[in-house]
């Protein structure tokens, strides 16, 4: 290699950056020991800005375009280097390319829960996460405050700082706006824009960065609070619990009646549910009086003395005689079922109680047809 070729290889005549990584914010042109040739070509593509630094001092900034480096378009660099009458020899300077396009797929989230004093639930812990976009708007401030001497500066290197600013601003925002926890979802859009402005004020002048977009995707409650809300929602959907219980009881009786082969367990279930519904109906008949105050049920009519029935070792009732006869006819009360009513010394099988024994007598067979 001749001397001329050696010198030519040490001179840089084209300066450009072909970026294939969308997360790179700043990239320094690898000059190493080479010198920039007088009249070198600088190619700045759309979405880029080129910044020259000499001796640690910020010099000239070039916008997108094709530039020929000379004294006329390097006024600051010429002053720093002392080129009073222009330069005719190669020079050394660092060239930083700054990515000015939006980096849109960045995410943020709360590492620890954020405390909120909710008007309905009291103190409550919330977690939140979302997305944001980042853009470089001031190359000088960005290189000076964050990049330093790094040859490559990625968005991930500043994401931790931005996440902490977002979470701090979110905590302050929740405290100021006093939005109920159940109403947060309806205010995501308004809160997102307010949060974006709060974060932007903290980084605009200092770091040369902009937050064009910031979105709150979700705010979640602790698991135990979510379970309590599910129960509360279910109760709200059910509405009148007494009517719902009656409906459920009726459904269970119908299912038990449609399954005659269910055996003793099914019969016991049907009897218990039937008695439970009848008991509930008696309580409803003794409902609330005027002004919501409870009133006592009237005493039974003569000859309509209520009965109590033993089911699985537990007393059920009271039931009117007509209700008890219906249970006997349905086979839910048998001869062996223990019953009791006022005036009896102890519980007795229904078939041994004179007032009920006739209910278990089978009718005689039909006479043969002539």
What is the rounded distance in angstroms from the CA atom of residue 168 to the CA atom of residue 195? 10
The pLDDT, as a whole number, for residue 1 is 45
In sequence order, what are the residues at sequence separation of 6 or more whose Cβ sits closer than 8 angstroms to the Cβ of residue 304?
A: 320, 321, 322
Instruction: Please choose, from the candidates 103, 159, 139, the residue with its C-alpha nearest in 3D space to the C-alpha of residue 28.
Output: 139
The pLDDT, as a whole number, for residue 45 is 94
In sequence order, what are the residues at sequence separation of 6 or more whose Cβ sits closer than 8 angstroms to the Cβ of residue 35?
A: 10, 11, 12, 90, 91, 92
> What secondary structure letter does DSSP report for 184?
S
In sequence order, what are the residues at sequence separation of 6 or more whose Cβ sits closer than 8 angstroms to the Cβ of residue 28?
A: 94, 95, 96, 97, 150, 151, 152
The pLDDT, as a whole number, for residue 246 is 60
Q: Are 325 and 359 in contact (CB under 8 A)?
A: yes
What is the rounded distance in angstroms from the CA atom of residue 350 to the CA atom of residue 362? 15
Task: Print burial letters for 295-332: b (CB count within 10 Å at least 16), e (below 16).
Answer: eeeeeeeeeeebbbbbbeeeebbbbbbebbeebbeeeb
Helices (H), 258-296: 263-285
Q: What does the CA dihedral 42, 45, 49, 53 come to, rounded to 10 degrees?
A: -30
What is the rounded distance in angstroms from the CA atom of residue 286 to the CA atom of residue 280? 10
Instruction: Please choose, from the candidates 196, 187, 139, the residue with its C-alpha nearest in 3D space to the C-alpha of residue 162.
Output: 196
Q: Is the pTM of this model over 0.85?
A: no
Tokens of 55: 């001796």
Q: Are 284 and 242 in contact (CB under 8 A)?
A: yes
Return per-residue pLDDT of the chain as tens, 370 residues.
Answer: 454 444 445 577 899 998 777 889 999 998 766 788 888 999 999 999 999 998 889 999 999 999 999 888 899 998 888 887 787 788 888 999 999 999 988 999 988 888 888 877 788 888 899 999 999 999 999 998 888 878 899 988 888 889 999 999 998 888 888 888 888 888 999 999 999 999 998 887 688 899 999 999 998 887 777 777 777 666 665 555 565 556 656 666 566 556 655 544 444 445 554 555 555 555 555 454 445 555 555 555 555 778 888 877 788 888 888 888 888 887 788 889 999 998 888 999 988 988 888 888 877 777 776 5
**First-to-last C-alpha distance (Å) of the chain:** 137
Maximum Cα interatomic distance, the chain, rounded to a whole number of Å: 144
The pLDDT, as a whole number, for residue 360 is 84
The pLDDT, as a whole number, for residue 302 is 57
The pLDDT, as a whole number, for residue 278 is 52
Residue with tokens 């000076």: 144
What are the φ/ψ torsions at residue 22 (nearest 5 degrees)? Answer: -75, -5
The pLDDT, as a whole number, for residue 26 is 94
> Which class for 294: exposed (0-12), middle (13-18), buried (19 or more C-beta within 10 A)?
exposed
> What secondary structure letter does DSSP report for 91?
B
Q: What is the pLDDT of residues 167-226, one digit of tens each?
A: 999 988 888 888 888 888 889 999 999 999 999 988 876 888 999 999 999 988 877 777
In sequence order, what are the residues at sequence separation of 6 or more whose Cβ sits closer than 8 angstroms to the Cβ of residue 132?
A: 106, 107, 108, 162, 166, 196, 211, 213, 214, 215
């Amino acid at each position: 290699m001749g001397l001329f070729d050696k010198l030519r290889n040490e001179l840089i005549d084209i300066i450009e950056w072909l970026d294939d990584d969308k997360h790179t914010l700043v990239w320094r042109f690898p000059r190493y020991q080479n010198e920039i040739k007088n009249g070198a070509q600088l190619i700045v593509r759309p979405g880029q800005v080129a910044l020259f630094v000499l001796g640690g001092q910020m010099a000239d900034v070039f916008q997108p375009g094709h530039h020929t480096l000379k004294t006329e378009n390097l006024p600051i660099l010429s002053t720093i280097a002392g080129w009073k009458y222009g330069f005719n020899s190669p020079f050394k300077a660092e060239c930083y390319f700054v990515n000015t396009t939006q980096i849109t797929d960045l995410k943020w989230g709360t590492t620890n829960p954020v405390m909120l004093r909710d008007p309905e639930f009291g103190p409550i812990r919330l977690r939140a996460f979302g997305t944001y976009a980042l853009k470089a708007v001031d190359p000088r401030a960005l290189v000076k405050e964050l990049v330093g001497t790094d040859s490559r500066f990625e968005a991930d290197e500043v994401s931790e700082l931005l996440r902490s600013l977002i979470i701090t601003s979110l905590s302050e925002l929740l405290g100021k706006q006093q939005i109920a926890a159940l109403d947060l979802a309806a205010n995501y859009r308004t809160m997102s824009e307010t949060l974006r402005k709060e974060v932007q004020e903290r980084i605009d002048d200092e770091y040369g960065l902009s937050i064009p977009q910031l979105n709150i995707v979700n705010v979640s409650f602790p698991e135990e609070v979510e379970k309590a809300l599910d129960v509360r929602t279910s109760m709200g959907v059910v509405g009148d619990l007494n009517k719902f219980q009656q409906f459920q009881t009726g459904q269970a009786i119908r299912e038990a009646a449609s399954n005659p082969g269910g055996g003793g367990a099914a019969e016991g279930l049907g009897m218990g549910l039937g008695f439970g519904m009848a008991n509930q109906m008696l309580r409803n008949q003794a409902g609330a009086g005027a002004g919501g105050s409870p009133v006592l049920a009237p005493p039974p009519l003569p000859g309509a003395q209520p009965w109590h029935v033993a089911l699985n070792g537990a007393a059920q009732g009271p039931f009117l005689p007509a209700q008890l006869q219906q249970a006997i006819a349905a086979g839910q009360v048998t001869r062996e079922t223990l019953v009791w009513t006022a005036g009896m010394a102890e519980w007795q099988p229904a078939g041994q109680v004179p007032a009920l024994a006739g209910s278990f007598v089978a009718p005689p067979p039909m006479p043969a047809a002539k």
